[in-house]
Amino acid sequence: MVGYDPGAQGAPLAAEEAALAGSAAGMVTRAIINPLDVIKIRFQLQIESLSTARPTGKYSGLFQASRCIHTEEGLSAFWKGHVPAQLLSICYGAVQFASFECLTRVVHDMTPFDSQTSGVHFMCGGLAACSATVVCQPLDTLRTRFAAQGEPKVYKKLTHAVRTMWRTEGVLTFYRGLSPTLIAVFPYAGLQFFFYNVFKRLLTPPPFAGKSGENIRSLICGSGAGVISKTITYPFDLFKKRLQVGGFEEARVHFGQVRRYRGLADCVVRIAKEEGVRGFSKGLSPSLVKSALSTGLTFFWYEFFLNALRDLKESRGVKDKR
């Protein structure tokens, strides 16, 4: 079980060990799910007017978008923005899980609440995600820009993107979309940890399952938690992506219509007016697939690496005693 648990077997892990396990989990998960992230972002940035009877966007479905991207841009296009995305995942995983472990320890040490309850996990998970978001938002903006651009590329590599954005748009451009991100990330991450805790309590593996059964349980519980939390908070992810590509219109022209929004409120109003209620759920299908895989794999690998660290500490302890 994630979070500080005084009843767990073995010595509790330090924050730096939780950070190491979290960053490793983020790195492995990102390498697997990056193609779905690229497809999701392409859908989120697609403008389709309500005045037309049929959808006018370039992409019309998960498989059609996959074929289109592969045909026009090649297989490597599914890993566009992978370097900043990988840095984001490593950094985010480290900060989020280290913060979560620290916060649940504080709850245990300084309050009368049980640190392993679902409600505590909701609050600590949400706060941990907010801290990770503030630290990692520039990498998220860079990841979105790279995934959004087609051919020819506006940004050739990460350092070129950083220099160009800094020079032409200023330092605050790296924090575009921060407001909807913070509004959404607290309930999104909080619900992830909440439902993960609930599902793990409900899905008790049989005694003979061993560690393999525990790992599969983590994957299933994480996937379920990811789908539910993403469905509830999805529109804010859409708003964030639309705001993050502001000032980047030249790279989006051949994908269809482009928009420049003055802020979060303007973004919400114009999407509702121009694209209707359906506009708030663009990219939801690939996003749910991605969220199920991403959240499930993140918790799976996090608990996997935590157990590996615990086993390593125990083996070293046995050697020291000899």
Helix axes 62-73, 15-44, angle to 10 degrees: 90
* Domains, in order of start, for the chain: 15-316 (1.50.40.10)
Residue 224 contacts by C-beta under 8 Å, 6 or more apart in sequence? 195, 199, 292, 296
The answer, as to whether pTM is greater than 0.85, is no
Cα separation, 74 vs 136, whole angstroms: 29
Q: Degrees (nearest 5) of the Cα angle 16, 22, 27?
A: 125
- Which of 284, 291, 126, 304 minimizes the C-alpha distance to 223? 291
Contact between 167 and 108 under an 8 Å Cβ cutoff? The reply is no
Cα separation, 45 vs 80, whole angstroms: 15
- Which of 47, 51, 50, 75 minimizes the C-alpha distance to 59? 47
- As a 3-state breakdown, the chain gives helix, strand, coil percent values, each rounded to 5, of 75, 0, 25
* Local confidence pLDDT in tens for the 322 residues of the chain: 676 665 555 556 677 888 999 999 999 999 888 888 888 888 887 877 655 555 567 888 888 989 999 998 889 888 887 888 888 899 999 999 999 999 999 998 888 888 889 999 999 999 999 999 999 999 888 888 887 776 777 788 889 989 999 999 899 889 988 888 898 899 999 999 999 999 988 887 666 656 667 788 899 999 999 999 999 989 988 888 888 777 665 655 555 577 788 888 999 999 999 888 888 988 888 889 889 999 999 999 998 998 888 888 777 766 665 5
Please give the full DSSP string across 205-240, using - where no structure is assigned. PPGGGHHHHHHHHHHHHHHHHHHHHHHHHHHHHHHH
